[in-house]
Amino acid sequence: MTDVPLPVSAGSSCAAAAAPAGAPTFGAPAYPCAPIMPGAWLGMIGGGQLGRMFCFAAQAMGYRVAVLDPDITCPAGGIAERHLCAAYDDLDALAEMARLCAVVSTEFENVPAASLDFLARMTCVSPSAQCVSIAQDRIAEKRWIEQAGVPVAPHVAIESPAVLQAISDPALAAVLPGILKTARFGYDGKGQMSVRNPDEVRAAHAALGGVACVLERRLPLAYEISAIVARGADRTTAVFPVAQNIHRNGILSQTIAPSPDAGLALIEQAQAAALSIAVQLDYVGVLCVEFFVLKDGSLVANEMAPRPHNSGHYTIDACVSNQFDQQVRAMAGMPMGCTRQHSPAVMLNLLGDAWFENKMPRVPPWHGVAAMPGAHLHLYAKEDARIGRKMGHVTLTAPTLDEARAAARDCARLLRISLE
């Protein structure tokens, strides 16, 4: 395999782009005129690994962080200056966060919409409650992506059993064979069922509880990529290099950056599409857009995440500013950082499976990982390892992408992680 150079594109530039004139103001947080200076408090709803890595970035820049999470042992709870241990809809805890913090964000999109609305009455919320609510619902999400001029898979919205009953077999057949996905609360392959004919659609919809769903046509997939964009309170933007993602059992297994298969034109198309979506939403924060690249070379948006993303973890060790730095900068009204990638990288997800051998608990060989040149280990301080649970990641950097991929294969063998 030949080595892939780092692309010279929007993702490798240290310049931030200004928003186009006349951009919409949908859902824009009402930011103060002046940036929020270090020493101020930033709030994070959710204390998982994304909240933990946000804390590291914010604290490195001199900010203090308050985290709201009902789990007393959550990964970010021991890192943040303050852990509000309460439910995500606890009004007293939300009011305390609003009183304390100049701006609040979220590490996951399924936070109760009412909680974000409540916070937005008292403090800045980034991204806005409206943007998060759109990302919570696949039906609304596809509508907004299409309005941004970005293609999505052919699909049919099925809001209820009554709606499904009213859809004719020929209309269903137009998006078959396909995948039936719940409109809300689906992640890592959950809430999805493959279907081949209208009868299977009806059976699958019933099996999923008759909730609102989207039926998407199964497309001839070549590979998957993601584009991560940061958009500041002043509407300037910065885009990271496009990465290529490989999934196993619906969960991200590895991310390769830069993408070894995407050419410069496709990379720029993906970055432009992500920026278009961010502008359409008047988004402030870090936004990840995942794409399918089809066998004919065309690009189709799959879904978006209104937050830093698993596929962007490589930026911590391979880019001048990482996705969590950008999240802090966007929240605080600071200028966007440089997103140039200085090292080719491969990120391996570490699931709880690596903590077991023949179903018996074990300690993974961390000493071996530490001995590998270019290996950057990130563990999330989760107390209990379980099969399929995200426990950490390791990023392998090297002078060339071929070397980084070879190191990733060696690391995977050492940890007994399957990359197939």
Under 8 Å CB-to-CB from 368, ≥6 apart: which residues?
414
Query: In this structure, is residue 69 part of a structural domain?
Result: yes
What pLDDT is stored for residue 155 in this prediction?
Answer: 96
Which of residues 202, 217, 232 is at a domain's end? 217
Q: Determine what percent of the chain falls in helix, strand and coil, rounding each to the nearest 5.
A: 30, 25, 45
Query: In this structure, is residue 184 part of a structural domain?
Result: yes
Q: Please state, in angstroms and rounded to a whole number, the distance separating the CA atoms of residues 106 and 72.
A: 18
Here the tokens at position 269 are 């198309």
CATH number of the domain where residue 56 is located: 3.40.50.20
Which of residues 168, 195, 217 is at a domain's end? 217
Q: Please state, in angstroms and rounded to a whole number, the distance separating the CA atoms of residues 319 and 315.
A: 5
Here the tokens at position 350 are 């570490």
Query: In this structure, is residue 371 part of a structural domain?
Result: yes
Query: In this structure, is residue 372 part of a structural domain?
Result: yes
Q: Are 65 and 102 part of one and the same domain?
A: yes
What pLDDT is stored for residue 31 in this prediction?
Answer: 55
Q: Are 35 and 107 part of one and the same domain?
A: yes
Q: Are 108 and 165 part of one and the same domain?
A: no
What pLDDT is stored for residue 188 in this prediction?
Answer: 61
**Rounded (5°) CA angle 306-308-309:** 100
Query: In this structure, is residue 161 part of a structural domain?
Result: yes
CB contact at 8 A, 158 and 213: yes
Which of residues 167, 200, 217 is at a domain's end? 217
Alpha-carbon Rg for the chain in angstroms = 21
Q: b vs e for 352-366, b when ≥16 Cβ sit within 10 Å of the residue's Cβ? A: bbbbeeeeeeeebee
What pLDDT is stored for residue 32 in this prediction?
Answer: 53
What pLDDT is stored for residue 187 in this prediction?
Answer: 67
**Chain segment 246-299, per-residue pLDDT in tens:** 999 889 999 999 999 999 999 999 999 999 999 999 999 999 999 999 999 999
Q: Are 98 and 56 part of one and the same domain?
A: yes
Query: In this structure, is residue 91 part of a structural domain?
Result: yes
Q: Are 93 and 176 part of one and the same domain?
A: no
Residue listed under structure tokens 């996705």: 323
- How many domains does one find in the chain? 3
CATH number of the domain where residue 391 is located: 3.30.470.20
What pLDDT is stored for residue 278 in this prediction?
Answer: 97
Query: In this structure, is residue 186 part of a structural domain?
Result: yes
Query: In this structure, is residue 44 part of a structural domain?
Result: yes
Q: Please state, in angstroms and rounded to a whole number, the distance separating the CA atoms of residues 57 and 326.
A: 9
Segments of the chain with pLDDT less than 70: 1-34, 186-189
Q: Are 35 and 120 part of one and the same domain?
A: yes
Q: Please state, in angstroms and rounded to a whole number, the distance separating the CA atoms of residues 333 and 231.
A: 10
pTM above 0.75, yes or no: yes
Q: Are 111 and 178 part of one and the same domain?
A: no
Q: Are 38 and 121 part of one and the same domain?
A: yes
CATH number of the domain where residue 169 is located: 3.30.1490.20
Q: Domain of residue 360: give its range.
A: 345-415
